[in-house]
Each structure stands twice: as C-alpha cells, then as structure tokens.
Amino acid sequence: MAKKTKEEKLEAKKTAAISKERLERITKTRKHHLRNNHRVIKYGAKSFIRNTWLSIAAIAIMVVTLVVLSATLIAAKAMDSAIAQIRDQVDISIYLKQGANRSQVSAVVNKLKSLKNVSEVNILSPEEANKKINDKIINEFNITDEDLIKTMREAPNKISWTLNVKMNDLNGTDELENFVNGDQEIQELLDETKKPTYASSHRQTIKNIADVMNKVQIIGLSAAGVFGVIAILVVFNTIRMAIFNRKEEIYMMRLVGASRWFIVGPFVVEASIYGIVAAAIASIAVFATVFAIRGQFDGMLDSTVELMKLYWYAIVAALVVVGMIIGIVSALLATKKYLKQK
C-alpha cells in the first residue's frame, strides 16, 4: 500500500510539472500577443500624427457625416415632440343635454373609456362650466361690483354637459364617431344644438407635421448616407497613401513572416482614431448647438435636451461607434486591395 502511495505522489508531481510547463507556454504566447497589439496601436498612432493634413481632411468629412446624421435624428425627435404637444392640448368635445344626471353621464363616460383609441375622458358639468365662464369674464374685464357678480352667477344656466375626450391618435377618430353615432344611450343624451367636435383642423396639422417629419428623415438620412460614402472614399484614399509611404517597410515585414494583423492593424488603428476624433468634435458641435437654440422652438427641443442630458454617454458612444465603423471599413478595404495586388 505504501509503495502504491509513493507511485501516486510521483505521478502527481509529473502531472504538476507538465501543467506548469503548459501554463508557462500559454503565458508567453499571451505576452507575445499583448506586445504585438501594443506595437500595432503604437504604429497606428504614429501614422496618424505623421499624416496630419490627410488626417484633418478625413476627420473633417467624417465630422460632417456624423453631424448631419445627428441633426436628422434630433429634428425627427423635435417634430415628434411637437405632435405630442398638439395631441395633449387637443381633445374632442361631446355635448350632452343639460337635463342629464350624473349617473347617466358616468355610464356614457365608462363606455367611452372602453374604446381602444381613447386615453382619457374629462367631465365638465353645466355648473362647473358656468362658473368657469363667469370667472373668466370677471377676471378679463376686472369686474368688482358685487351686485353685478351676484347677478351673473344667479343668471339661468343653459350650458350643456361637456365630455372632453383625449385620443391616443387624433387621426383615428373613426371608432369614436361610429360609437357615438351608433350607441342608443348616447344618442338619447346628446345635445341636439351642439354637434361633437372631432378636431379635423388639428388632424390636418398633425398630418402636415408628420409629412414634413418623414421628408426630413428621408432627406437627412440620404444626405448622411452620401457623406458617409464620401467619408469612406476619403479615408480609403488616405490609408492608401499611408500604405504607399510605407510600402518598403510592409515588404520587409512580409519577408520576415509578419502576421497579416501586424501589417494591417496599424492602418485600422489609424482609421479608428479618425472616427474617435471626428465623433468627439461632432458631439461637441451637436450638444452646443442644441443647447444654444433650445429656447427658440417653444419647448419642442425640451424633451430632446433632457434625453441628451440623461444619456449623453450613450449618444457619444454611438457617434464613436459609427465613426469607427466608417474608418475601419475604409482601412480594411484599402489594405485588402493592396495586399491582394501584392
């Protein structure tokens, strides 16, 4: 039994030695990769600094691309906010007979709330409406005569019950109209002297804003796409010139068996720096502009500004990603074409 235990100990030591050797080999390999990546980043940064004027040209067109893209999205968000503001301020009024009682009105309101496109129903009784109108007149004309005020409040009230209906979509009032026209209980309570208002003028306003928003998105995204293609071509040519400037160095690296990544990597890093710098400049320009003009659009940009304050890091990160994608795609196309030719 003792002999067997000794053999097991020797086997365990042997296994440990093998494991240690493998671990050291893996560690060396990782160090080698880290050193290679460090050199790739270093060479890419040097190339970026060395080609200053070419870098500025590439960055400039990338900044324009990112600004146009950001402006398109901000404009779409602002118009969406404008539509939401109109929708919140507009409601559809349904007038019921003055003689209707509270329980009858509540029954009608419950039916209206069951409709899918109805978000809210507010009740304005004849007494509340009468008080509201009198208070408005008294305040506007600065009436202070107590007898006159008392007479106004005691005058016969001929105002109808008013149901103010808010819709999720003002363009989708067909359901409400069909319901009001087809429900017997509502028909019996409707005030015959006042027809329901279905906010047709506001629907047209919302439709016009929506049409403009769609056009702005199409034009903006198209412009961003065109500038994006131009940016790719500019960065492509910039990287090509950098490759030609280093063609002897690249030739030597290929002779000694340098990996493809070691050759291509510096150009990818250089193009990525273009994207990062362009995204930083575009972010500053977009944020500064939006904050500067927010007060000139009657609150249309308020929600956009709050969103930008809350998620500024995500917006900047998105611009960096888009900029880097443009740069990396350009660099890969340029290096692939050159290495294929060679």
Task: Kindly report, residue by residue over 98-108, the tens digit of the pLDDT.
Answer: 888 888 888 88
Statement: residue 177 has pLDDT above 80? yes
Which pLDDT value is given to residue 285?
92
Categorize the per-residue pLDDT at 321 as very low, low, confident or very high, splitting at 50, 70 and 90: very high
Q: What is the pLDDT of residues 17-69, one digit of tens each?
A: 665 566 455 545 555 566 667 777 777 777 777 777 778 888 888 898 888 88
Residues 6+ apart with CB under 8 A from 29: none
Q: Cα dihedral angle (66, 67, 71, 77), rounded to 10 degrees?
A: 50
Whole-Å CA distances, 31 to 24, 25, 41, 96 = 10, 10, 15, 82
Residues 6+ apart with CB under 8 A from 323: 62, 66, 274, 275, 276, 278, 279, 282
CA-based nearest residue to 93, from 172, 187, 165, 175 = 165
CB 78 within 8 A of CB 296: no
Which pLDDT value is given to residue 276?
92
Lowest mean pLDDT among 68-72, 111-115, 271-275, 294-298: 294-298
* pTM exceeding the 0.75 threshold for the entire prediction: no
Which pLDDT value is given to residue 1?
44
CB 126 within 8 A of CB 161: yes
Lowest mean pLDDT among 91-95, 189-193, 294-298, 313-317: 294-298
Which pLDDT value is given to residue 279?
92
**Two structure tokens written together for 55:** 């870098």
State the Cα–Cα distance between residues 186 and 165, nearest whole angstrom: 14
Percent of the chain's residues with pLDDT above 90: 6
Domains of the chain by start residue, with CATH: 41-84+206-341 (no CATH), 91-198 (3.30.70.3040)
Lowest mean pLDDT among 65-74, 128-137, 307-316: 128-137
State the Cα–Cα distance between residues 94 and 110, nearest whole angstrom: 14
